[in-house]
Chain A
Amino acid sequence: MSSEVSGLKSATFHGDGYEHVVELVHQRDDHARRSLIALQVEVREAGGGLLATLPVDPREEILDVADLTRPHVGGRGLVMVTFDARYDPRTLPYRPHHYAYLHRRGSGAPSLYYAVNAVLGGVPDRVGATTANNLENYLFLRRPLEERYSLLVGNVAHWATAKARVLAYYAGRPRTLDLTLEPGAHAELALPAEQDGARLERVDMKTTFRLATYVVGRRADSGDMVLFDHLFPYFK
């Protein structure tokens, strides 16, 4: 049996005031065979401290993240929610890709649908990796828009501290920010839309192993989220 079980670890971030549900299995079928075998959901604060391990029925199709984390998010800003799933690849031949739906209550912004970041096991992609071997990037429209941008980065590893180098490019020139995250910790890095009169063009992130990463766009006036998207890994 154990040889027929695959694993998927993914992570998202949740803040107070949002309706937010996560699809545990993307595909469904009439006989409800397509469900996870096991699922552990954890909620962590920015410093990495474990706030809760949530009891979840792995046969559920959709989890209400807002409801589940409500006792733990008040006054904390964003919390990181991890999904440690086990599934049978015979019933879910493609991984049970988690998608999610998100909308801030009372916001005039459109609802967002996004792919929950799969971070695998939170372990180095190669044994003995000591240099950056995981690169992700994201491009931005270069026209002035009424948004502010940031990068959400989370380390889902239980024991390993993660180092990341984030490079935000303006007119081809990088602005470099180095980041160290303790196990379970996360941070939100502001990406100024402009620097020295040049627009934000792209962001690159280099790490020694896979982190949970999202590009976030918020309306400048209300702070409502209008963009919550994965970066593009392109070199491992």
Chain B
Amino acid sequence: MRLVRVLARRILGVRRIPTYYLPWIARAQIECVLVLSNIEARFRPGSSPGPFRLSARQHDERGRVVGEYAVELADHLAAAEVPLTRGTEGCGIVTVDVAQIQSDLYVALCGAGSYTVTHGRHEFVERYPAWTRLVMAALGRLLALMGRTIPAFARNQYVYSGADHRSHLLLMNLSNVTNRIRVELQSRAFEWTPRLLALPPMGAHLLRLPAATRGETAGLHVGRLHAAGNAWFNFYVVGAGPRDLAGPLSLMHVK
């Protein structure tokens, strides 16, 4: 299967660009802050003592660049806090140029009585050439008429719903093509019809998952979510409390 994927990428002319990315999410009562450092490199043989320059690019749900940030860290022990979204609401992806650093970077959600932190991923984004984008767009639209997508990538994730809390997902399209992601959810407790989401290039979508509805509202319910898309994507788990998405939220990576 791996060989098939490698061959398919070669035929389609797909390039994988090493990229460090993090999620961002903001609400009126929640501030989203990047914490940037190069602390993990301090004992690496040959590591420069600094300064280190980083640049970050913030994409919104539609994939548009809505913020650009430049930071200089004086040395390995320096940390910079970059508030992303003061006074705005939304979610998306932040990519960071980490050419000069070797450390995981944090993203924090904080507000009244809440403070959660998670880290980003040093993986890649996919770049499809123009002709491939056209083919995928045409094929994607055709399959979308039947509620389907090209299942090039798939991810499985457990999701949860309790009496006054649950998990949601922040989906991130890590490519330069429209990513049609089909989401299925298996559980006796949830009402769910498979749905097809179309995420723009480098766009994101906060997938609101339902509360348990099928008569079993007491206790904690688990759903098995399966998402398949036509291009590379990832997601983060968004935790919510009694006020759901209007209240404090947590954010967490998945493997």
Residues of A in contact with B (beta carbons under 8 Å apart): 19, 21, 23, 26-29, 61-62, 64, 94, 97, 99, 101, 103, 105-115, 135, 137, 139, 141-143, 145-147, 172, 201-202, 217, 219-221, 226-227, 229, 232, 234-235
> In the bound complex, do residue A110 and residue B106 qualify as a contact, i.e. CB atoms below 8 Å apart?
no
Q: Does B206 contact A (CB under 8 A)?
A: no
> In the bound complex, do residue B35 and residue A141 qualify as a contact, i.e. CB atoms below 8 Å apart?
yes
> CA A110 – CA B103 in complex, angstroms?
28
Within 8 A of A (CB), among B48-86: 77, 79, 81
> In the bound complex, do residue B240 and residue A141 qualify as a contact, i.e. CB atoms below 8 Å apart?
no
Summarize B's interface: helix, strand, loop or mixed: strand
Could you list 9 further interchain pairs (A-B, Cβ under 8 angstroms) beyond the known A21-B220, A111-B250? A111-B239, A112-B239, A139-B37, A142-B81, A219-B114, A226-B115, A229-B117, A229-B118, A234-B39
Write the nearest CB–CB distance from A223 to chain B, whole angstroms: 11
Q: Does B46 contact A (CB under 8 A)?
A: no
Residues in B with CB closer than 8 Å to A147 are 113, 115
What are 6 A-B pairs at a CB distance below 8 A?
A62-B222, A110-B241, A112-B116, A113-B167, A146-B113, A226-B248
Within 8 A of A (CB), among B188-229: 220, 222, 224
Quick one: which of B115, B165, B255 contacts A141, CB cutoff 8 A? B115
Write the nearest CB–CB distance from A46 to chain B, whole angstroms: 25
* Chain A, residue nearest B117 (CB): A229
> In the bound complex, do residue A28 and residue B224 qualify as a contact, i.e. CB atoms below 8 Å apart?
yes
* Chain A, residue nearest B157 (CB): A26
> In the bound complex, do residue B222 and residue A108 qualify as a contact, i.e. CB atoms below 8 Å apart?
no
> CA A114 – CA B250 in complex, angstroms?
10
> CA A106 – CA B255 in complex, angstroms?
29
Summarize A's interface: helix, strand, loop or mixed: strand
Q: Does B33 contact A (CB under 8 A)?
A: yes
Residues in A with CB closer than 8 Å to B114 are 109-110, 219, 226
Residues of B in contact (CB 8 Å), total 48
Q: Does B40 contact A (CB under 8 A)?
A: yes
Q: Does B13 contact A (CB under 8 A)?
A: no
Q: Does B148 contact A (CB under 8 A)?
A: no
> CA A166 – CA B118 in complex, angstroms?
21
Residues in B with CB closer than 8 Å to A101 are 158, 160, 167, 220, 239
Residues in A with CB closer than 8 Å to B174 are none
> In the bound complex, do residue A106 and residue B115 qualify as a contact, i.e. CB atoms below 8 Å apart?
no
> CA A219 – CA B250 in complex, angstroms?
14
Residues in A with CB closer than 8 Å to B239 are 101, 103, 110-113
> In the bound complex, do residue A137 and residue B158 qualify as a contact, i.e. CB atoms below 8 Å apart?
no
Write the nearest CB–CB distance from A178 to chain B, whole angstroms: 21
Residues in A with CB closer than 8 Å to B243 are 108
> In the bound complex, do residue A114 and residue B248 qualify as a contact, i.e. CB atoms below 8 Å apart?
no
Residues in A with CB closer than 8 Å to B110 are 141, 143, 145
> In the bound complex, do residue B167 and residue A232 qualify as a contact, i.e. CB atoms below 8 Å apart?
no
> CA A162 – CA B113 in complex, angstroms?
34
Within 8 A of A (CB), among B224-255: 224, 237, 239-243, 247-250, 252-255
Write the nearest CB–CB distance from B94 to chain A, whole angstroms: 16
Q: Does B43 contact A (CB under 8 A)?
A: yes
> In the bound complex, do residue B79 and residue A201 qualify as a contact, i.e. CB atoms below 8 Å apart?
yes
Residues in B with CB closer than 8 Å to A64 are 220
